[in-house]
């Protein structure tokens, strides 16, 4: 009965608070203690017993009471951090205050008039007794953040105590070296503490409060130009927080060391709760929010190989950004640390793909989107990590899960963000030569995917999945086509031997994209043809020997290339092509692509269930803003090319634009033809038709087609294996034009993608926190919540 009584008392206190019109004195402890001292309420209880309408009512009608409630709750957390929470009662008070603040904070953030409240100092806040003045003058937000940081390393509350005797338990919180209390072995820490589920649950609650503090960002509209830093994150990740290093390490190690399958006992996740998983999820979310730092706007963190794994906390102004979490991340450099991080992330990303003989017998994690953001941050801020990832075929352990998620989410509108981040990561990786080389490894792991069965390499898998996304994904993925094909272009010079399935898929894409109505129906559609021709040219010039399948497919589909060379440019023909479009609204038919049987055990990609919630995303910059062209020199080094002046009239986009304008322009142009604002002209078609890079392919056809036809007639061949054998031994040495230099389009950081990542990351966090629903039904401004 006790718990029912305490819930009743707690509810009475809430009602008293909402009905009192007079301010309650801060010194009236009997009244305020009702909220945290005598109750044992779970976080779910707090959310149920403190309804949103009542928090808003107190905020509007008796603001001083809400202010006192917040500041008294913070005061209790500060006291708990000072004393070290030795008694059970103190621990309970800290948890209750933390739950209450998690409930109330979003309603403070949603009201612009209240936003400065936590950054003001509370006059005579009852903390003046014997404390020095500068401590007294701290804004409430700073006191709260420092108290949370202290409490996350509180012996016997969130970490194992090192003291054996209970007599000397006044382990002074001020002299405690939290580096000895890191939560998990891994980067910079070798000792793995005994798992303790109570500590895990307490950490989870405090991290949830911390995440709620950081979530003020959700209540500000997206502003692409502002390099606005989140003041909560900025302070928490500054030198003011003496626990910054151990906390960063604890969060990173907790995530990367987690193994959801554990000892591999089937159905173990159904028999007992896993207290670690909520902690790992919360840790991953806090970690990506603290690392939300625009690398384009600040000096990119440099990696100096001189610092040691744990000596990352130099108090002299460290190189790189002031955000210590970003700083520490950028300075990890030991191979064993990289191995630990990469293995951990790969293990967790591959978890949903695990196939077992017993259905549902292994636990499937749900936080793969947070892991992808974390992986992105690691590669973006720590170039040594990126090179480590690409140094061995371990990168394929990241690639295969990403391709799985892309293929699985292609028909689901609520997962557009997941599609984007997967493609962004592959774009970043594809800018490095090693990635293309690694793709030649045979693909033997059979992850059940809804794609045709093929025998080949990881490059074949990538092309087959990309083809599936383009031909059977939903409409909103069209802005990604440029990125998908850029990735294929970047890796194409290194692909030693494409399978027949992948070769046919590439030619099917060319066939679909080079139909006249598609080319003429939007200002940028012809770019897709240019990308595909570049892929074919790279393979013919640099990897002709092993690619007889592709050469054969090009010969079979030679009419497509001849049609492109003879593309009509006169106004009547353009008009006629667009008329045809009205009769055939489907952009890409799947008929001419031989869809083989899908893999055994795979399920077709399903659209979102009606009513699924999703969050809106800002538009991403065009591929020209996302990437920077580099040329591969003879010695294999990359030389950045000066960006060519934008083709203003040819592209249909003005030369100089604000980034935000470009986003809108991209959006507008893609729908321009539908609303009739843009229409193709003969000059426009001629301007790019003349640049189609068809010379190499036309020369190949000119040399090989007569030879192949002759063999077929002479030997009466109808069997393609004979022709393939002939092509395998053929050569074009001396017959092709001089090889063009290899062009790589490398991802470059920019304000547009930084803003996209911020909205995506907070959208994921909003939707994933449903128990309790921390931000649900509050007035967020960073994105819109939509139903599919």
pLDDT of residue 7: 81
Residue 253 lies in a domain: no
Q: What's the pLDDT tens digit per position in 132-159?
A: 444 457 899 999 999 999 999 888 777 8
Residue 560 lies in a domain: yes
Beta-strand pair 785-787/638-640: unpaired
Q: How confident is the model at residue 429 (pLDDT cuts 50, 70, 90)?
A: very high
Residue 546 lies in a domain: yes
Residue 787, strand partner residues: 613
pLDDT of residue 710: 86
782 neighbors 759 (Cβ within 8 angstroms): yes
Query: Does residue 598 sit in helix, strand or coil?
Result: strand
Q: What's the pLDDT tens digit per position in 189-200?
A: 888 878 888 898
Name the residue with tokens 């017959």: 735
pLDDT of residue 74: 92
pLDDT of residue 659: 36
Higher pLDDT, 562 or 133: 562
Q: How confident is the model at residue 714 (pLDDT cuts 50, 70, 90)?
A: confident
pLDDT of residue 1: 43
Single out the residue of 163, 144, 164, 161 nearest to residue 153, CA to CA: 161
Q: How far from 71 is each of 68, 80, 118, 572, CA to CA, in Å?
A: 5, 14, 9, 74
pLDDT of residue 672: 43
Q: How confident is the model at residue 301 (pLDDT cuts 50, 70, 90)?
A: very low
400 neighbors 429 (Cβ within 8 angstroms): no
- Looking at the predicted structure, is the pLDDT value of residue 294 above 60? yes
Domain end position, chosen among 653, 676, 700: 700
pLDDT of residue 599: 66
Q: What are phi and psi of 285, to 5 degrees?
A: -70, -45
Q: What percent of the chain clears pLDDT 90, i.e. is strictly above it?
A: 41
Name the residue with tokens 């599919």: 788
- Looking at the predicted structure, is the pLDDT value of residue 705 above 50? yes
CA distance 82 to 154: 10
State the Cα angle at 615 between 613 and 618, rounded to 5°.
160
CA distance 199 to 121: 32
- Looking at the predicted structure, is the pLDDT value of residue 351 above 50? yes
Over residues 732-750, the mean pLDDT reads 85
pLDDT of residue 729: 80
410 neighbors 560 (Cβ within 8 angstroms): no
742 neighbors 538 (Cβ within 8 angstroms): yes
Q: What's the pLDDT tens digit per position in 662-694?
A: 334 433 433 444 445 678 888 989 999 999 999
252 neighbors 187 (Cβ within 8 angstroms): yes
Higher pLDDT, 319 or 34: 34
Single out the residue of 50, 35, 135, 43 nearest to residue 93, CA to CA: 35
Q: How confident is the model at residue 496 (pLDDT cuts 50, 70, 90)?
A: very high
Residue 497 lies in a domain: yes
Domain end position, chosen among 671, 700, 729: 700
Over residues 526-555, the mean pLDDT reads 94
Q: What percent of the chain clears pLDDT 70, i.e. is strictly above it?
A: 81
Report the chain's mean pLDDT, rounded to a whole number.
82
Among 74-88, 249-263, 480-494, top mean pLDDT goes to 480-494
Residue 598 lies in a domain: yes
pLDDT of residue 100: 92
Residue 261 lies in a domain: no
Single out the residue of 434, 421, 498 nearest to residue 467, CA to CA: 498
Higher pLDDT, 162 or 160: 160
Over residues 244-268, the mean pLDDT reads 82
14 neighbors 24 (Cβ within 8 angstroms): no
Q: What is the three-state SS of 299-328?
A: CCCCCCCCCCCCCCCCCCCCCCCCCHHHHH
The region of weakest confidence among 304-313, 394-403, 514-523 is: 304-313
Higher pLDDT, 170 or 302: 170
Q: How confident is the model at residue 300 (pLDDT cuts 50, 70, 90)?
A: very low
Single out the residue of 254, 211, 251, 255 nearest to residue 233, CA to CA: 211
31 neighbors 92 (Cβ within 8 angstroms): no
Chain centroid, CA 486 distance in Å: 19
Higher pLDDT, 307 or 386: 386
- Looking at the predicted structure, is the pLDDT value of residue 357 above 50? no
CA distance 417 to 440: 29
Q: How far from 198 is each of 90, 155, 222, 751, CA to CA, in Å?
A: 15, 12, 39, 42
Name the residue with tokens 């090192």: 162
- Looking at the predicted structure, is the pLDDT value of residue 652 above 60? no
Query: Range of 696's domain?
Result: 443-700
State the Cα angle at 669 between 476 and 624, rounded to 5°.
85
Q: How big is the chain by its Cα radius of gyration, in Å?
A: 30
Residue 374, number of CB atoms within 10 A of its CB: 24
Residue 119 lies in a domain: yes
Q: How far from 308 is each of 252, 313, 451, 613, CA to CA, in Å?
A: 17, 10, 46, 45
Work out the angle between the directed axes of helices 197-214 and 140-151 (0-180°, nearest 10): 160
Domain end position, chosen among 161, 187, 219: 161
pLDDT of residue 340: 96
Higher pLDDT, 660 or 363: 363
- Looking at the predicted structure, is the pLDDT value of residue 592 above 70? no
Q: Which two tokens stand for residue 179?
A: 């580096």
Residue 23 lies in a domain: yes
Reported as half-sphere exposure (CB side, CA atoms, 13 A), residue 401 has a value of 23
CA distance 21 to 25: 12
**What's the domain count of the chain?**
2
Chain centroid, CA 303 distance in Å: 23
Sign of CA dihedral 399, 487, 478, 663: positive
Query: Does residue 63 sit in helix, strand or coil?
Result: helix
- Looking at the predicted structure, is the pLDDT value of residue 497 above 50? yes
Over residues 575-590, the mean pLDDT reads 63
CA distance 264 to 373: 28
Q: What are phi and psi of 786, to 5 degrees?
A: -125, 155
Beta-strand pair 743-747/638-640: unpaired
Sign of CA dihedral 579, 590, 508, 420: positive
Higher pLDDT, 273 or 519: 519
Over residues 406-429, the mean pLDDT reads 93
Residues 6 or more apart whose Cβ sits within 8 Å of residue 608: 412, 413, 414, 415, 614, 788
pLDDT of residue 49: 87
- The alpha carbon torsion through 421, 424, 428, 429 (nearest 10 deg) reads 70
DSSP state of 95: H
Over residues 389-393, the mean pLDDT reads 91
- Looking at the predicted structure, is the pLDDT value of residue 233 above 50? yes
């Amino acid at each position: 009965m006790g718990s029912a009584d305490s819930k009743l008392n707690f509810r009475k206190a809430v009602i008293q608070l909402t009905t009192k019109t007079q301010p309650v004195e801060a010194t009236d402890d009997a009244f305020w203690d009702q909220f945290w001292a005598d109750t044992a309420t779970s976080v779910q209880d707090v959310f149920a017993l403190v309804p949103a309408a009542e928090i808003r009512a107190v905020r509007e009608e008796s603001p001083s009471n809400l202010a006192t409630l917040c500041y008294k709750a913070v005061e209790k957390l500060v006291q708990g951090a000072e004393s070290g929470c030795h008694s059970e009662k103190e621990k309970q008070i800290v948890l209750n205050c933390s739950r209450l603040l998690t409930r109330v904070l979003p309603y403070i953030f949603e009201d612009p008039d209240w936003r400065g409240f936590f950054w003001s100092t509370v006059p005579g806040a009852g903390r003046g007794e014997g404390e020095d003045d500068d401590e007294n003058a701290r804004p409430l937000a700073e006191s709260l953040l420092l108290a949370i940081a202290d409490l996350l390393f509180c012996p016997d509350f969130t970490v194992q105590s090192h003291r054996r005797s209970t007599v000397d338990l006044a382990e002074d919180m001020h002299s405690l070296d939290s580096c000895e209390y890191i939560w998990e072995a891994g980067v910079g820490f070798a000792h793995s503490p005994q798992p303790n589920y109570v500590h895990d649950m307490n950490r989870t609650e405090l991290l949830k409060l911390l995440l709620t503090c950081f979530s003020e960002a959700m209540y500000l509209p997206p502003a692409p130009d502002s390099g606005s830093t989140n003041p909560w994150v900025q302070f928490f990740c500054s030198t003011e927080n003496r626990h910054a290093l151990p906390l960063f390490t604890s969060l990173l190690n907790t995530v990367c060391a987690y193994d959801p399958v554990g000892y591999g006992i089937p159905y173990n996740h159904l028999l007992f709760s896993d207290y670690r998983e909520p902690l790992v999820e919360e840790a991953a979310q806090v970690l990506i929010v603290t690392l939300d730092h625009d690398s384009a706007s600040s000096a990119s963190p440099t990696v100096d190989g001189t610092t040691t794994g744990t000596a990352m906390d130099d108090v002299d102004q460290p190189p790189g950004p002031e955000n210590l979490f970003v700083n520490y991340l950028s300075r990890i450099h030991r191979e064993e640390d990289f191995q630990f991080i990469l293995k951990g992330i790969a293990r967790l990303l591959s978890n949903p793909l695990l196939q077992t003989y017993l259905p549902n017998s292994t636990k499937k994690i749900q936080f793969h989107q947070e892991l992808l953001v974390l992986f992105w941050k690691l590669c973006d801020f720590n170039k040594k990590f990126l090179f480590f990832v690409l140094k061995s075929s371990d990168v394929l352990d990241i690639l295969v899960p990403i391709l799985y998620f892309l293929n699985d989410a292609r028909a689901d509108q609520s997962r557009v963000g997941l599609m984007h981040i997967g493609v962004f990561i592959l774009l970043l990786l594809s800018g490095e030569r090693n990635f293309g080389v690694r793709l030649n490894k045979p693909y033997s792991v059979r992850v059940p995917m809804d794609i045709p069965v093929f025998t080949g390499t990881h490059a074949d898998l990538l092309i087959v999945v990309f083809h599936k996304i383009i031909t059977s994904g939903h409409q909103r993925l069209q802005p990604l086509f440029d990125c998908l094909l850029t990735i294929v272009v970047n890796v194409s010079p290194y692909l030693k031997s494409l399978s027949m399935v992948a070769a046919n898929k590439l030619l099917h894409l060319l066939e679909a994209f080079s139909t006249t109505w598609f080319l003429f129906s939007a200002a940028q559609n012809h770019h897709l043809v240019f990308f595909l021709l570049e892929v074919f040219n790279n393979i013919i010039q640099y990897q002709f020997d092993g690619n007889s399948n592709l050469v054969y497919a090009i010969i079979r589909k030679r009419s497509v290339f001849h049609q492109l060379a003879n593309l009509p440019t006169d106004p009547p023909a353009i008009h006629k092509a667009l008329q045809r479009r009205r009769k055939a609204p489907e952009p890409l038919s799947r008929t001419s692509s031989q869809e083989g049987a899908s893999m055994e055990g795979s399920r077709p990609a399903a659209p979102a269930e009606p009513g699924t919630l999703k969050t809106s995303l800002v538009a991403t910059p065009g591929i020209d803003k996302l990437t920077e062209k580099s040329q591969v020199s003879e010695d294999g080094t990359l030389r950045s090319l000066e960006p060519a002046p934008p083709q203003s009239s040819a592209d249909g986009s003005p030369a100089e634009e604000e980034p935000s304008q470009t986003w809108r322009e991209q959006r507008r142009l893609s729908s321009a033809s539908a609303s009739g604002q843009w229409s193709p002209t003969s000059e426009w078609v001629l301007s790019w038709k003349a640049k189609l890079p068809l010379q190499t392919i036309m020369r190949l056809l000119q040399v090989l087609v007569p030879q192949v036809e002759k063999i077929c007639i002479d030997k009466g061949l109808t069997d393609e294996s004979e022709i393939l054998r002939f092509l395998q031994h053929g050569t074009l040495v001396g017959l092709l034009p001089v090889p063009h230099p290899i062009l790589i389009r490398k991802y470059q950081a920019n304000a547009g993608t930084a803003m996209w990542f911020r909205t995506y990351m907070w959208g994921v966090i909003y939707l994933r926190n449903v128990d309790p629903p921390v931000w649900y039904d509050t007035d967020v401004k960073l994105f819109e919540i939509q139903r599919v």
